[in-house]
Amino acid sequence: MSPSIKNIPRRQAIPILYTRGTHYDVGYDVGRTFAAIIKNFLQLSGPLNDTYLPLYNTDEGRKVYNETLESVKKSFPQYIREMEGTADGAQVEFHKLFLLHMDEILPVAVEGKNSINQPIGCSTVCVNEPDCEILAHTEDALSEVLNHYYFVSAHIVSDSPQGKYNVTEERFTSLCYAGHLPGYTMNYNHHGLVFSINTLSASKLYSGKTPRHFITRALLSAENFAQAQLILRDNGVGAADGCSVNMTFLKQDGDRLFHNAEMGPAERDQSQLNILTASPGEHIVHANMYLRLPVPEVNGLIIDSSVERMKTFKSFNAPKTLNDVIRMLGDQSAKEHTVFREKDAKDIIKTVCVGIFDCRKRTWSLYSDNPKFNAPLVVMPLVIKD
C-alpha cells in the first residue's frame, strides 16, 4: 500500500450519481464519477491486497477465479459488462473488482479457511405495526470502507433480454461500496422492492457458482416476491456463499409483509433458502449468523459479534415505533460488540452508515453517524412505477 494513501476520519458526506444507459454505460459512469474513491479503496483494502491478490497469482487461485467468472458470464453476462464499464471508467484492473465480489470464496476454496476473522457484518430491524412499517439497517464494514461508498441511482434499458431472467429494464437506487456492483447493502427498485443484506459466513464455499454479490445484484430486477425467491435460489447453479436478505414490496396487495430470507451455499444446483415472514404486529431482527438454515458456519468474531448484538436486541421490548428502532440501532451498551460501532479511531470494524426505509411515508433516511444523536444526512423519496 502506498504510504500516502490513508483513510480520513468519518465525513458527513455521501455522493450520489444519477445515470441512464446500457449496463456498460452505467458501469462506466460509476467508474468515471467515483474513480478517485475506487482507486483509494483498492489501495486501502486489506483483504484484497493481503489475501485475494496473492491467491489470484497462484495456479489454484486462478483456476477458482476463472471457474467462477465463467459461471457468472453464463448466468449474468450483463453484470460482467457493468463491472467492465466500472473498471474502464475508473481506469482500474477488472480482476481486482471481480476479486472483491468473490469475497472469501477464493481463500476458502484454495486454503480451506475464511481469511477475515473480524466482527464484520450488519444489523437489521423490521417493524410491522399499523402506524410504523420500517426496514432499518446498520452498514458495518472494515474501517477502510468508511468514506468509500456512494449512491447509484440507475435506469438501465437494454435492446434485448439480458441474462438468465431475460431482463430488459432495471431502475433502482443502491448504496454501493467503492468499486462494487449495486445490490449488496441497502436498496430499492421501481417495482417497490426494498431490501438490505446481512453477510453470513458459511464454512464451506464453492468455486464455479454464483457469488452472493451477483445474486443480490439480480434482485434489483425483481418485480415481486415470487421472482425474488427464484433469483435467490439461482436454479441450475446456486450461490457460492451465503447472506441474509431482509425485504418487503411497497406495492403488494393486502397486509404489509416483511421477509427475512437466509440463503446458504448451493450443495448441488440451487441455493439453500429459508424464509421467515413478519405479518402485522410482528418484527424481525437479524445480524450475521444463521438462525434457521442448518448451515455450518465459520468460528470467530463474526459469530461472537452477532451473538452479542442479538443479545442486545433481546434486552429491548419488541420495537413498535421509529424511536424504538433508532434506540436499538444506535445502541452502544454492549461490553465488546456494540450495535453501532464507533468506539475509537483504531476500530477495525465501523458502522459506516445507517439506513431507515419508512414504507408508509415511502422515504429512505440515510444517517452518516449514530442516529440516536444525529439527524439523517439525507431523506430520499422512494419513487416507484405507477
Q: For residue range 49-82, what is the model confidence (pLDDT) as tens digits?
A: 999 999 999 999 999 999 999 999 999 999 999 9
Strands 149-162 and 167-177: antiparallel
Cα 352 versus chain centre, distance: 13
Residue 365: its H or E element: strand 363-367
Distance of CA 196 to the CA centre of its chain: 6
Q: What pLDDT is attached to residue 346?
A: 60
* Residue 355 CA: distances (Å) to CA of 98, 190, 367: 26, 18, 6
Is the separation of the CB atoms in 150 and 14 below 8 Å? yes
The answer to whether residue 4 scores a pLDDT higher than 60 is no
Q: Residue 160's Cα: distance from chain center in Å?
A: 28
Query: What is the pLDDT at residue 349?
Result: 78
Is residue 2 pLDDT above 50, yes or no?
no
Reported as a single tens digit per residue, the pLDDT across 166-194 is 999 999 999 999 999 999 999 999 999 99
Highest mean pLDDT among 97-111, 113-127, 133-147: 97-111
Q: Which residues contact 189 (CB under 8 A, 6 or more apart)?
A: 170, 171, 172, 220, 221, 222, 384
**Lowest-confidence pick of 34-48, 161-175, 207-221, 236-250:** 34-48
What's the rounded mean pLDDT across residues 151-159?
Answer: 97
Cell numbers representing residue 89 in the block: 471508467
Predicted confidence (pLDDT) per residue in 341-365, tens digit: 887 656 677 888 999 999 999 999 9
Number of Cβ within 10 Å of residue 344's Cβ equals 5
Measured CA angle at 242 (ends 380, 141), to 5 deg: 50
Q: Model confidence at 13, in pLDDT bands (50, 70, 90)?
A: confident
| pLDDT tier, 114 (very low <50, low <70, confident <90, very high otherwise) | confident
pLDDT of residue 313 exceeding 90: yes
Residue labelled with grid coordinates 415505533: 321
- DSSP per-residue string spanning 238-270: -BSSEEEEEEEETT-SSS--EEEEEEE--SSSS
List pLDDT tens digits, range 256-301: 999 999 999 999 999 999 999 999 999 999 999 999 999 999 888 8
What is the Cα–Cα distance from 17 to 173, expressed in whole angstroms? 9
Predicted local distance difference test score (pLDDT) of residue 3: 39
> What's the pLDDT at 8?
73
CA 108, 109, 110, 111 dihedral sign is positive
Give the model's confidence band at 6: pLDDT under 50 very low, under 70 low, under 90 confident, else very high.
Answer: low
